[in-house]
Amino acid sequence: MRFIAIAIILTLNFFSAQAAEKPVTREWFYIAAGPTYSIVDGANGINSRVGIPMQKGVYFVSQISYFPNAFEYKYEEMRYEFNVDLTLFSVKKFSMYATAGLNFGYWKRKFTTLFLNPPDGYNQDNSLLFGGGINYKLKRIQFFSDYKWYPEISSHHASIGFKFNFFENRYVKNSYYDFLKKKGKIKTIAN
């Protein structure tokens, strides 16, 4: 039930108009998704991420990439990343950013040879990551393209996709307080 309430609030926030008296220019957070490609392995996968602005032009990003045992890829791989995106410059709707962070990967070989069977568990590796990307920003949606290099595991990934921006507004804040009040978490709302 709590998940449904949060999903409704986020959906209404995404499609609602912003408050007229005080326009918000910086997003509250964003959710992104799109395909990703491992250049060294030749593997296709999917990528999803959540970004939270720390200050203007700096974002904390948490993301996950999954490369299934499909598309003739002989491994199953999942990578989880914590990184910081720093906007280098913006020109109208375009912006360019640099990124750096930590990557944690889990992978398993899915093929069999004459003397080698697939392992039961997953192998783990860790790496730093460095890269950059570009954004094309519309009001609530951004198109992005980025490239990342993982030096410890000798890998390179390229991703494209959409970012859905969520902005703080009075309706979301009031809905959250009403939800807490209904559940008995708060008695009154201080102004």
pLDDT digits (tens, 9 = 90+) for 31-70: 999 999 988 878 889 999 999 988 888 999 999 998 886 5
Mean pLDDT for 159-178 is: 77
Among 13-17, 95-99, 112-116, 179-183, top mean pLDDT goes to 95-99
pLDDT at residue number 139: 75
Share of the chain above pLDDT 70, in %: 65
Share of the chain above pLDDT 90, in %: 32
pLDDT at residue number 124: 78
Residue from 16, 22, 48 nearest 162 by CA: 48
Pick one of 3.30.70.1150, 3.40.190.10, 3.30.70.270, 2.40.160.20 as the CATH number of 27-168. 2.40.160.20
Query: Whole-model pTM?
Result: 0.68
pLDDT in tens, 86-119: 999 989 899 999 999 999 887 766 655 556 655 5
Mean pLDDT for 113-138 is: 78
Which residues, 6 or more positions from 39, have their beta carbon under 8 angstroms from its beta carbon? 155, 156, 157, 158
Residue extents of the structural domains in the chain = 1-16+171-185, 27-168
Residue type, 159: S
pLDDT at residue number 18: 44
Which residues, 6 or more positions from 181, have their beta carbon under 8 angstroms from its beta carbon? 187, 189
75 has pLDDT over 90: no
pLDDT at residue number 106: 79
pLDDT at residue number 129: 92
Q: How far from 177 is each of 1, 86, 152, CA to CA, in Å? A: 16, 33, 46
Distance between CA atoms of 22 and 49, rounded to whole angstroms? 29
120 has pLDDT over 60: yes
Distance between CA atoms of 184 and 116, rounded to whole angstroms? 59
| 5 CB-contact burial (10 Å; exposed 0-12 / middle 13-18 / buried 19+) | middle
The answer to whether the beta carbons of residues 129 and 102 sit under 8 Å apart is: yes
